[in-house]
Structure 1
């Protein structure tokens, strides 16, 4: 089965400058890395898959489920797409505790979760991400790794159909990045979730990629090279593609 079937086209204008994004990818394996330099269009691609930004044309299908199709007029809201998202800055609410930040992933309104409420779904991910000792802390009291785990737990608490990550390790030191890569891989293998990761870090690619899609100037390049992965379960089987 094709896990990722994405075709996106969008013209972006900023003042006098123009940028045209034209990305097509079809992948049968669940772990996809969008790889390329800053400004290549990786984050815009993720935002359109997530439903935060609307393409001018194209479609988005993940594991056979259609989320967007310009031709038929289908465009599910970000909430109805059921995609877990982790951004580079983690986007944690500074006035909420770890437990409340994770619980926010279950809410469809902007009302803050209660401090004292204990939801078993939230407690599961607090334990899974080893956040028990800091569950009552606010983001400014956390280490970089704890903030990253909190953002990941919030993305997973609602049982998403796929996980989208935008440079999730970029702000962390080298040793912590490698440890969290291993943890993310273990989670993905356990949950069998389709995962799309944006990076320009070669180590993310080697550890996590099954399929690498290199993006340059808003388009998929067909001449990237995959190096051997660091983790035995992260064996790439599909070369970069532009279908």
Structure 2
């Protein structure tokens, strides 16, 4: 009797929930808030595979904005702005729950790429995926202290080099009172290299355009008056060569 009842129940379930094409399931899942998707990974192995698939998770993450209310403890917190305009607080990653200081990127926001967020604990850099909760230490900041004693990372950016399958951290450190030097960190090799391109006086927050980091900078010429007016220009970081190229400024005439 119990076995027969089980067979009827399974038949009813198949009738109520017929096979749905995977494309339809994906379209439905893409419309759900990220927090529900994390829970729905437990529904089945198939759903777990679909939701954890990198192209799918990337599509979901690109639709959300993560903001930091303040850079430092105890006020620091992370919040996500959903499609409907609602705001949800995101728990700190487990490796950084007790960190005394936490920032996104450098002192200016700019550490985000492909849905991954660069977190700076002032001792180490962590690559965090808010979608899966995975947080991994990728670089140590100790190496940078030989170039700057005060402000270790003024501005930083995270970008992805598809040719090397490597995420790179591009950060600017103060090298003297009037100029800043650039350091490039490889998350794959966990090493830093100093960029020998011209120094700049001032660097604004980075902007990721077509997988390349761009900055608005003030050019610094050797021997010039440190208090003279600087020339503003836009520079783009070329991933393959770890070099900067100047971008033509817009014509405002």
Q: Which has the higher contact order (CA 8 A, sep 6+)?
A: 1
Larger radius of gyration: 2
TM-score, length-scaled by structure 1: 0.25
TM-score, length-scaled by structure 2: 0.25
Higher strand share: 2
